[in-house]
Chains A and B, each alone.
Chain A
Amino acid sequence: MRGNIVYMAIAAIAGIAAGYAWSSVSLLFIVLYAIFLFARKRRLFLFSIMTICVFYMYIVYIDRHNETQLSSRMTLFSIRFVAPVAMDGDQLKAMVEVRKKEKLQLIYYVKSAQEKQQLSSLLAPGTVCTVKGTLERPALPRNPNAFDYRRYLRFRHIHWILQPQSISPQHCRRMSPTLYEWLLLLREKGLHVIETHFPAETVGIVQALLYGERTELDESLLEGYQKLGLIHLLAISGLHVTLLVGAAFSILIRFITKETATIILLIFLPIYIVLTGASPSVIRASFTAMLFLCANYRKMMLSPLDALSVTLMVMLLFDPYMLWDVGFQLSFIVSFALILSSPMIMSYHSAVFRLFFTTAIAQLSALPFLLYYFFEVSLWSLPLNVIFVPLYSFMILPLAVASLVAYYVHPLFSAPFMWLLQKIIIISSDVVALFSSNHSLSLILGKPSFFFLVCYAVAILVAFVQMERKRYFSLGWVVLVIALHAFSPYIDRYGEVVLLDVGQGDCIYIELPYRKGVYLIDTGGALPRQRQPWQERKREWDVGKDVVVPFLKAKGVRYIDKLIATHGDVDHIGAAEEIIHHLSVKQLVIGKGKTKNAIQEKLVQLAKQKNMEVVQISKGDRWTAGGISFYVLHPFSTYRDDNNHSIVLYAKFGGLSWLLTGDLEEAGEMELINAFPQLKVDVLKVAHHGSDTSTTALFLEKVQPKIALISVGKHNRYGHPSPDVIERLRKRNVIILRTDRHGAIRFIYSKKRGTFFVMLP
């Protein structure tokens, strides 16, 4: 069995995956895996089948019992804060426990600067409060490939979001914290020391490296690290733990025996896990280190692969839902690949070569995961990692540790370390900013389908096996799969129209069959809010950055052929700037006629700066792409600077005729039916989010739509869609699909037919 525990670890993964969601794919995998083991090693076969069964039943049991005991009618709660409280602007987020059993996610909007200060000093792990509030189910994803918050919380055994009306200090008191909570408080103190005593530029990175805390990191810097594939450096990785444990051990054995040093470290490591935020990579690295220390103590040999496999199984027993954690997946797959590749890496004697291979193998093994979660990879990733990995491991991390230790000895001693640390971090941050902003060389490939995931897995395994025999051309297989993946939309005979759920606003994505064209009609956008300094969040939610760009990247859209701005309102083109920064846009299309609209003016300026073509269109214009003709029915050349200047498009997708109307109001609709008296459509994008100033009975009478699509925000302040409009549509038996109720509305079509899909049931 020794040396072969990895096969049981794989069995554990298969068991959990199959137990959580039984599918033909998991069955097929289990059957193939069993045949493989049966043919090769009978003993392993038996143990693995047993492991599959145990983990299968375990997840089934856990999942069945992962249910709420509470009901949405409850209003009075006695809560205990069990995790650090995150205060961001006017938003307070915390994890609380009720009735000592069930955990809730608490979200509270602080009402004043004074209250904010009061609550930040009051609330901490261990505080118990009585609050009045309401329970709400966590949101389901409203757009394709969007984050599933409900599942995310459910995997943490949280089923409700608690929104208290108020948290009054009179109803709160500090209880004596449990050991765990005490450690969390210690962590908060440690973070505070760094925040107040380290140079400003270094605070975020030092907190990330020593405590696994990223909240103080600059948002754009973090994005840069993410984009360039360097983000793993800001997590506490196996290398960090190995370096720290190694250093601690070699210092300790100068004073005490090896055995005592081992025991001290064995006690300290679990504490270290809690202090560093217990992310999966820290747990993995620390637990593996503990296994090695134990083995060493007992004078036993332990193979790294066995240690990793045991760690994986123990972690999954502790929390089987962890299998779905991105950090968990990346941490294990990279460690696994590096261990199996170590003979290959060791066969080179030059340190530079070893570093290069280590980085390349880590990148290659993580590739399908990175594409699945982030949809893109940067070509800079490899060379930058070769520089940054040693920089972080042997300069920044030791300096950070030295600064902190020196600070605790005497603040004066820490000055030279901090000075050097600051210089290095400023330079490295500049490098990251430079590469990520202008020359990111990002390959946007999109979210791989299951088929492509299998292709990637096979190609990467073949490449690794062949690389062991020094046949490096086998990397060509991986390149081939990447090329096929990049090319796959162009051989897809289906096109797609998507009304994204951008809240209150419009954003329509049109993809022609065989990707003969990608158009974006409006982008959505939020009105800038007037906020006091204390209310400002570290990172404001942005519809472009958080909805539209991820949606486009997941689709593997590398450039947009036409970005059509129907008119200049912020809820239509507010996010355009963000999209132009992230993706390349070939052409900006605006309505003809001079405009005084400041937002549109700014957008045109930006487009010219980025060397985009700016095209003005009006009634009578048309273009054809991929066999589909787009007719521009509006605006007329007479100038108007309001909703009635909206671009109106008519086109046929999948056998249905569509009218996309922007924010056209009554006057515009009248012009339209006067100019095109024969106009009939199947699908009407209801103008102006269903406002009663549009979609008149006369207009409906004329165009006779069968399906009405309304892009409108949930709980919007304008009361859209107007009940009158809904009534008018109902009267005519028009099917209504609306983004506030259904989430994004997708229409997938081929030449003759198409089907509507909605995100929310």
Chain B
Amino acid sequence: MNCLICHAPYNPLASWQHFLTLKNADCLCVKCRGAFVKIDGEICDICGRPFAGLERSHRQGKLCADCVQWQKDDEWKDVLTKNRSVYMYNEFMKEVVALWKFRGDYAIVQAFQDEFCREFYRHFDNTFCIVPIPLSDERLYERGFNQAKALAELLALPIYEPLCRRHLEKQSKKSRLERLRTENVFRLSEKTSLRGKHIVLIDDIYTTGTTLRHAAKVLLKAGAASVSSITLARG
């Protein structure tokens, strides 16, 4: 077998669990699998940022400095109930995301299956509505697939797509300040009733949390009871 990321041939490690359940072997080699760093230990209650390696000044009680700022602002207070992320957005993750998103290696998403699902079910369950962050039509045409939807599909739960997105410049090309100040790019695509629903937004990366909060705001306006989110990586 060849590794899905580095394409080097490797021997999938057979374990007892694999043997007894005939589970498919890991599609990554040991080296690539080991290069992902999972988030664990103490994290910020809201945005899921790991406290390990964070300066003391950036932490206030159970929240990180960013989330304290968000909570101070009446407009954005409690818009996002909580965010959880699976991996750290380290150098390796950046390369993998580039390969996946920008160079269009769609199949890489398989590599996240197990751990993404496990993290989802640790914090949420199948009563939540799954909403992937949409791409604008132009961007979707350019990329060929929506990475957030690809992640959402890993969960094998019904997916709702009540949002659509205006075409703007790429988020990743903007500075932090620019991002925070942009106007909301999301709107409801149809008059669906979200009354009383608990929603989990799905995206690839949480950087500042602006995108997720914008989407959350639109959904809350439409009557959602709460909006949380889960992302693959935490910047």
Contacts and interface: CB of A to CB of B under 8 A. Distances in A.
A40 to B, nearest CB: 4
B223 to A, nearest CB: 42
Interface residues of A, number: 26
B16 interface: yes
B1 interface: yes
Interface stretch (B5-13, B36-44, B94-102, B159-167): B5-13
A41 B22 contact: yes
Contact of A3 (B14, B15, B17): B14
Nearest to B14: A305
A339 B22 contact: no
Contacts of A40: 21-22
Contacts of B10: 301
Given A3-B1, A3-B25, A40-B22, A465 B17 contact: yes
A304 B15 contact: no
Main secondary structure on B side of the interface with A = loop
A344 B15 contact: yes
B19 interface: yes
A340 B15 contact: yes
A301 B11 contact: yes
Contacts of B13: 342-343, 346
Contacts, number: 49
Nearest to B25: A3
A35 to B, nearest CB: 12
A303 B9 CA distance: 11
Contacts of A7: 22
A29 to B, nearest CB: 15
A344 B13 CA distance: 10
B20 interface: yes
Given A3-B1, A41-B22, A465 B11 contact: no
A2 B14 CA distance: 12
Nearest to A307: B11
Interface in B110-159: none
A303 B14 contact: yes
A468 B17 contact: yes
A124 interface: no
B16 A3 contact: no
B150 to A, nearest CB: 25
Nearest to A305: B14
B15 A303 contact: no
A639 B158 CA distance: 97
Contacts of B11: 301-304
Contacts of B16: 340-341, 344, 461, 464-465, 468
B118 to A, nearest CB: 12
Contacts of B1: 2-3, 301
B114 to A, nearest CB: 14
Closest 5 CB pairs of A and B: A40-B22, A303-B11, A464-B16, A343-B13, A301-B9
Interface of A: 2-4, 6-7, 36-37, 40-41, 44, 301-305, 339-344, 346, 461, 464-465, 468
20 contacts: A2-B1, A3-B12, A3-B25, A6-B14, A40-B22, A41-B22, A303-B11, A303-B12, A303-B14, A305-B14, A339-B14, A340-B19, A343-B13, A343-B14, A344-B15, A461-B20, A464-B16, A465-B16, A468-B15, A468-B16
